[in-house]
Chains A and B, each alone.
Chain A
Amino acid sequence: MAGINKNAAQIRANIVSNKRVGQYHQLIINIGDLAQSCRPGNFVAINVGGENSRMVLRRAFAISRVSANSVSGGTMELIVAPHGQGSKWLCAQVEGAILDIVVPLGTAFGIPTEPVQVLLVGGGYGSAPLFGLAEVLNAKGCRVDMLLGASTASKIYAPMEGKRAVNSLRIYTEDGSMGQTGRVTEPIAGLIQDLNIAVIYSCGPMAMLSAIDEITRGTDVVHQCAVEESMACGIGICMTCVLPVADSEGNISMLRSCIDGPVMDGSFVQWDKVGKAL
């Protein structure tokens, strides 16, 4: 059984900025030297609601990008959709507000040692961490192509500056309001052939991750996916965020997505058993 991220620490961190970007909020949070230990795929657990809140559980957010040398010290960027009570509270916090956070948590995307062709697939605001990942992969000499999908245009997160690290970016919406009409998973099989893809990195809803697994199953393409399960603690003690995952011998067990994930090898996740008792 894997252990908690060795760099994880609980700190009080201040919000450097909070801007609305379409349907989402971009929060920049000062985390000092901890920025150096954050890797693409890691997440942060944030205490929400203030001292007398009736919300007793931390909220987990993927770190979309870190900057180790910013003027305000090391910072991390979060892209937050204000749709639940906790995320609404977070999006309402102003510059200078202090947050109680635990960071960095969870596993990170594996970076290839050789420059290879990679495909990044994001669904909705799940795409946020892919832009930080694209920068790291690009710096390694990988050719990075990206697909983003959502139900509708306003749910696509694709910042201008994020596109610099990608060779191509294609957008899919189910209602056709932006890019091509359809699901983001539709072109994947073709792209694997055309671009000789070695690794797919994905981040988004479970149905999307499962669909990508179906495409890559039986091929040599490695599928690294960041899973989404609701968590109560984010640090491995509550046992609520589990997923059925096989080991190399085929034994299936319920692994914690906060400790053994969020980034997992998609071929080991038992997608057909998610949400079922083993």
Chain B
Amino acid sequence: MTALDFSTTLGNAWFPAPTFTASGCASSGRELSQFFDIKTMGGVVTKSVMLKARNGRATPRMAETPSGMLNSIGLQGPGIDAFLAKDVPFLVEQKARIIISIAGETVEEYSTLARKLRSVSGISAIEVNISCPNVENRGLVFACDPEASRRVIDGVRRTIGGELPIIAKLSPDVTDLVSIAKGVVEAGADGLALINTVLGMVINLDTLRPHLGGKTGGLSGPAIKPIAVRAVYQVHAEMPQVPILGMGGISSGRDALEMIAAGASGVSIGTASFGNPTAIKSIQNELKDLLVAKGFTSLRQAIGYAHRPESE
């Protein structure tokens, strides 16, 4: 059997495998660790943590849709201090590699969160989830506003210094994703996480009203996979040097390879873990077998393969 180099990098962070949890889809890793050894995957991307504890939205918070689901959680979480005290030590103890996802309501809140992470050891990277409403700008989502996106990343970069890689998580609900991606990279992002959920709605036919407590929700699962593959492809085409963590409906090794060929250096698995707690393990094994079967000796050779000219 051919030896396969399965490792990947996001900025200066190295990971033994290209498979990650998706933020908000693994709580903080504790639950999944009952089903498999979480240090065997690339890393845990934690649920996006905010400065203060937050209860999130009213129920119902989810609706299953064809090949997908809508969720409207509203970033429920313990707040950064409790998170650093309780959740991070567990992950460190498990020897998992950790990407901490942060979310804020103001540019300043993101910087404050970054300041709190500066002295925490055992973190591989920071994911900056900018798909949150900006309270300083009529609730417009940061990720839909190129200037606000840039300011958030710039603030985090200045606070955190040059060492820790910053991965900006972008929303697909924009007209020109590439220009937003370019903006955050210029502002100091080392990598991009593509894509966040797609905004959707389900009407409950008993009440003839929106089903979710939060009315709208984020669509995830296989239903959005082609959107994610397109987003990764378009951004990689313009900025092939910027590492991308690809996500959106990946539920098999084949899905993961599609995303990698489109330009992703790693993949995050979210909704698939809801349906199958060992999905990440299976996807990892299937992806390895596929890469070997296709004659690759390293994961790196497959990244962005879809962009090569036909003749190669």
Contacts and interface: CB of A to CB of B under 8 A. Distances in A.
A237 B62 contact: no
Interface in A180-232: 229-230, 232
Nearest to A86: B64
Chain B CB within 10 A, most for which of A47, A239, A275 = A239
Nearest to A57: B64
Contacts of A276: 58
A47 B61 contact: no
Contacts of B71: 232, 238, 240
A236 B222 CA distance: 21
Interface stretch (A3-11, A28-36, A161-169): A3-11
Nearest to B53: A253
B295 interface: no
B221 A10 contact: no
Interface residues of A, number: 37
Contact of A236 (B31, B57, B221, B275): B31
B25 interface: yes
Interface in A231-255: 232-233, 235-244, 253-254
Interface string B1-44: 00000000000000000000000111100111011000000000
Interface string A106-133: 0000000000000000000000000000
Contacts of B30: 3-4
A253 B54 CA distance: 9
Interface in B142-193: none
Contact of A275 (B56, B58, B66, B78): B58
B224 to A, nearest CB: 11
B106 interface: no
A10 B64 CA distance: 22
Range of interface residues on B (Cβ < 8 Å): 35 or more
B60 interface: yes
A265 interface: no
Interface string B242-262: 000000000100000000000
A253 B64 contact: no
A243 B213 CA distance: 13
A92 interface: no
A239 B73 contact: yes
Contacts of A6: 34
A275 B59 contact: yes
A65 interface: no
A47 B279 CA distance: 12
B213 A277 contact: yes
Interface in A55-93: 55-58
Given A8-B34, A233-B274, A275 B213 contact: yes
Given A239-B27, A275-B59, A56 B34 contact: no
B64 A55 contact: yes
A174 interface: no
Interface string B59-80: 1111010111101011010100
Given A242-B59, A242-B61, A277-B58, A237 B34 contact: no
B214 to A, nearest CB: 8
B69 to A, nearest CB: 6
A100 B276 contact: yes
Nearest to B36: A10
A185 B27 CA distance: 37
B62 A238 contact: yes
Nearest to B273: A237
Interface in B233-247: none
B277 A232 contact: no
B55 interface: yes
Contacts of A57: 64, 69, 274-275
B271 A236 contact: no
B55 A277 contact: yes
A28 B76 CA distance: 37
A240 B34 contact: no
A56 B32 contact: no
A158 interface: no
A54 B27 contact: no
Interface of A: 1, 3-4, 6, 8-10, 47, 54-58, 100, 102, 229-230, 232-233, 235-244, 253-254, 259, 274-278
11 contacts: A8-B34, A56-B64, A237-B31, A239-B61, A239-B76, A240-B71, A242-B56, A275-B58, A275-B213, A277-B57, A277-B213
Given A235-B34, A238-B274, A242-B76, 15 more contacts: A3-B31, A54-B66, A54-B67, A55-B64, A232-B62, A233-B275, A235-B32, A235-B35, A237-B31, A237-B274, A238-B71, A239-B24, A241-B59, A274-B59, A277-B58
- List 4 tightest A-B contacts by C-beta distance, closest first: A240-B62, A233-B274, A278-B55, A240-B61
